[in-house]
A and B are shown apart, each in its own frame.
Chain A
Amino acid sequence: MTETSKIQVESLNLFYGEHQALFDVQLGIEPHSITALIGPSGCGKSTFLRTLNRMNDLIDSVRITGRVLVDGEDIYSPDTDVVSLRKRVGMVFQRPNPFPMSIYDNIAYGPRIHGIRKKAALDEIVERSLRQAVLWDEAKDRLNKSALGLSGGQQQRLCIARLLAVEPDVLLMDEPTSALDPISTLKVEELTGQLKEQYTIIIVTHNMQQAARISDTTAFFLNGYLVESSDTEKMFQTPSDKRTEDYITGRFG
């Protein structure tokens, strides 16, 4: 954690009612980096990810202590505007979830709800986002066709494009390739690597090879605790904690 961290998490605890799911998590995320969150099922990595854009608010019984600072401001303070937070910190989900609308309308959804109405401006944003998501060539002739007609991998890249259209700073990705075939997975990983130049990316994955392939920093979660986080190469070659080593070498999980 440094003074210039994009995101700073301090002493974060999360409770589902009486049950505690995250224990005293401290983590710093550097701008323009890719951070991978790894760990066995149920370890809390997705829950942690969702605290960064307050998507956990959608669950009734969730309670949080600690601070989450984005660009130096605590996003859990009472006068945070959640709507604009989510514009800045966007999320891609495990299963692609395009709206049952045309490809164009899917991408234009974000800009439209934030007030952009002129067709020329929307056209430009749609094209730019699709190019950034490496989907433009495949989609440009079917912009007005339903997004549900795309393949799984294309749909996921559409969801990424949809997210990019609102011009966030941070991209949260919750196991974005676990529902995709290997070829689409590779395409999305390539895309992620390209996006790093403009965005800060945090990706949850249960695939360790993926984490090793694409991330700069890796954080290992176990049973709600952040066990270790460090430079990816170092983590995979010489982990400091025995539990990390056991997980990485496949002894459990």
Chain B
Amino acid sequence: MSVISERQGRQAEQSGGARSTAWSKRQARQDRLMRSLFIGSAVLVSVVIFSIIVFVGFQGSKTFRDVSVVEFFFSTKWSPSADSPSFGALPFLYSTILLAGLSILLAVPLALSGAIFMAMIAPRWIREIMRPATDLFVGIPSVVYGLIGLTVIVPFLGKTFHGSSSAGYGILPAAIVLAVMVMPTILSVSEDALRSLPGALREASLALGATRWQTIWRVLLPAARPGILTGVILGLGRAIGETMAVFMVIGNAPVVPKSLLDSTTVLTTAIVKDMANTFFNTPWNNALYLMALVLLLLSLFLILLIRFVAGRSEVK
């Protein structure tokens, strides 16, 4: 929809004639008032995100009064309540990256294959059912997925790998839970990307004697790459920022995991776990804000990455 200029708007108002001047004037006043309100709302939105970054950043940076940068980012010793406390957040950083990476690794192949299936191969009636169904699953609360992870996946993994159902916590169940959670997101964004490709591309390829698979692999997937990458990055963002579902299955020991089934902690769960135990303006509390800042910056970076990736789309 095009933006109508103010001049056009005013011209439209003035064409009402002399008889309706008082009415038009009131409308014009109302119009200006509402416009200010709308702009004010927009400003408010910017203020909100700006204040979040500033507050969290400010509180987080206070950490460096008591903790060196090196210690926070590179030490693996996290014992904030000891007599001489240490605040090494490396285990959290490490596990966050490991978990996010593994989740995406599990989710993307299935999501992409599903997107191709729905966009290119499935008969229409299957797609009509599957699409709303997968969209629905994006809306299921994360704690629900967490509970399934806790009640089904953790015991299963424990029994399979350790012989007892109490030891199945760790990055692996968390990655499985996250993969199921982000898969619908990646699927729906990728499917949209595939469906919005011009039909002429597919026709041209088939008219040259290509098979359906050749068309998908050589023409359509490369052409939809920006959209697909956007979906993957969105899924990655969701995986990095997820808290509660991960909390329920990852074990929450503040150490670097030696295997995929060792109890560990990520940035988000570290914050949730410790928040109630800390007092405002103590180093421990500030450290949590610093972790929140890291998360915030990571998410913002991913947003910029999406803008970069999506901007390189060539297909008209």
Query: Does a CB–CB distance below 8 Å link A and B in the complex?
Result: yes
Instruction: Indicate if the CB atoms of B203 and A87 lie closer than 8 Å.
Output: no
Q: List 23 A-B contacts (CB under 8 A).
A: A55-B206, A58-B206, A86-B206, A86-B207, A86-B208, A86-B209, A90-B207, A91-B207, A93-B200, A97-B203, A99-B201, A99-B205, A109-B205, A109-B208, A109-B218, A110-B208, A110-B209, A112-B218, A113-B208, A113-B211, A146-B314, A163-B207, A163-B208
Q: Which residues on the B side are within 8 Å of A95 (C-beta)?
A: 200
In the complex, besides A83-B210, A100-B314, 11 extra interface pairs with C-beta distance below 8 angstroms are A55-B203, A58-B206, A84-B209, A86-B208, A87-B208, A93-B200, A99-B201, A113-B208, A113-B211, A148-B316, A159-B204
Q: Report the minimal beta-carbon distance from A111 to chain B, rounded to whole angstroms.
A: 10
Instruction: Indicate if the CB atoms of A97 and B208 lie closer than 8 Å.
Output: no
Q: Report the minimal beta-carbon distance from A50 to chain B, rounded to whole angstroms.
A: 10
Residue B104 is within 8 A (CB to CB) of chain A in the complex = no
Q: Report the minimal beta-carbon distance from A117 to chain B, rounded to whole angstroms.
A: 13
Q: What residues make up the interface of B, taking CB atoms closer than 8 Å to A?
A: 198, 200-201, 203-211, 214, 218-219, 222-223, 314-316
Q: What residues make up the interface of A, taking CB atoms closer than 8 Å to B?
A: 53, 55, 58, 83-87, 90-91, 93, 95, 97-101, 109-110, 112-114, 146, 148, 159, 162-163, 166
Please, which residue of chain B has its CB at the minimum distance from the CB of A163? B208
Q: Which residues on the B side are within 8 Å of A113 (C-beta)?
A: 208-211, 214, 218
Give the most central of B209, B219, B222, B315: most A CB within 10 Å.
B209
Q: Which residues on the A side are within 8 Å of B210 (C-beta)?
A: 83, 109, 113
Q: Report the minimal beta-carbon distance from A86 to chain B, rounded to whole angstroms.
A: 4
Q: Which residues on the B side are within 8 Å of A98 (C-beta)?
A: 204
Q: Interface residues of B: mostly helix, strand, loop or mixed?
A: helix
Q: Please measure, in the bound complex, the distance between the C-alpha atom of A98 and the C-alpha atom of B204, giving whole angstroms.
A: 8
Q: Which residues on the B side are within 8 Å of A112 (C-beta)?
A: 218
Q: Which of B198, B208, B214 contacts A90 (CB 8 A)?
A: B208
Q: Which residues on the B side are within 8 Å of A101 (C-beta)?
A: 222
Q: Please measure, in the bound complex, the distance between the C-alpha atom of A101 and the C-alpha atom of B223, giving whole angstroms.
A: 9
Q: Which residues on the B side are within 8 Å of A162 (C-beta)?
A: 204, 208
Q: Report the minimal beta-carbon distance from A83 to chain B, rounded to whole angstroms.
A: 5
Instruction: Indicate if the CB atoms of A114 and B203 lie closer than 8 Å.
Output: no
Q: Which of B204, B209, B211, B214 contacts A99 (CB 8 A)?
A: B204
Q: Report the minimal beta-carbon distance from B217 to chain A, rounded to whole angstroms.
A: 10
Instruction: Tell me whether A99 and B223 are in contact in the complex, defined as CB-CB below 8 angstroms, given that A93-B203, A146-B314 are known contacts.
Output: yes
Instruction: Indicate if the CB atoms of A97 and B209 lie closer than 8 Å.
Output: no
The 10 closest A-B pairs by CB, nearest first: A87-B209, A97-B200, A86-B209, A91-B207, A97-B204, A100-B314, A110-B208, A113-B210, A100-B315, A113-B214
Instruction: Indicate if the CB atoms of A166 and B200 lie closer than 8 Å.
Output: no
Q: Which residues on the B side are within 8 Å of A90 (C-beta)?
A: 207-209
Q: Report the minimal beta-carbon distance from B294 to chain A, rounded to whole angstroms.
A: 37
Q: Which of B198, B218, B222 contacts A97 (CB 8 A)?
A: B198
Instruction: Tell me whether A83 and B207 are in contact in the complex, defined as CB-CB below 8 angstroms, given that A99-B219, A101-B222 are known contacts.
Output: no
Please, which residue of chain A has its CB at the minimum distance from the CB of B314? A100
Give the most central of A85, A90, A93, A109: most B CB within 10 Å.
A109
Q: Please measure, in the bound complex, the distance between the C-alpha atom of A90 and the C-alpha atom of B203, giving whole angstroms.
A: 11
Q: Please measure, in the bound complex, the distance between the C-alpha atom of A91 and the C-alpha atom of B201, giving whole angstroms.
A: 13
Instruction: Indicate if the CB atoms of A93 and B204 lie closer than 8 Å.
Output: yes
Q: Which residues on the B side are within 8 Å of A114 (C-beta)?
A: 209
Q: Which residues on the A side are within 8 Å of B211 (C-beta)?
A: 83, 113
Q: Report the minimal beta-carbon distance from A183 to chain B, rounded to whole angstroms.
A: 23
Q: Please measure, in the bound complex, the distance between the C-alpha atom of A53 and the C-alpha atom of B209, giving whole angstroms.
A: 10
Q: Please measure, in the bound complex, the distance between the C-alpha atom of A87 and the C-alpha atom of B205, giving whole angstroms.
A: 11
Q: Report the minimal beta-carbon distance from B127 to chain A, rounded to whole angstroms.
A: 13
Please, which residue of chain A has its CB at the minimum distance from the CB of B225? A100
Q: Please measure, in the bound complex, the distance between the C-alpha atom of A85 and the C-alpha atom of B207, giving whole angstroms.
A: 9
Q: Please measure, in the bound complex, the distance between the C-alpha atom of A83 and the C-alpha atom of B204, giving whole angstroms.
A: 13
Please, which residue of chain B has its CB at the minimum distance from the CB of A57? B206
Instruction: Tell me whether A53 and B207 are in contact in the complex, defined as CB-CB below 8 angstroms, given that A97-B198, A97-B201, A101-B222 are known contacts.
Output: yes
Q: Which residues on the A side are within 8 Å of B223 (C-beta)?
A: 99-100
Please, which residue of chain B has its CB at the minimum distance from the CB of A87? B209
Q: Please measure, in the bound complex, the distance between the C-alpha atom of A112 and the C-alpha atom of B219, giving whole angstroms.
A: 12
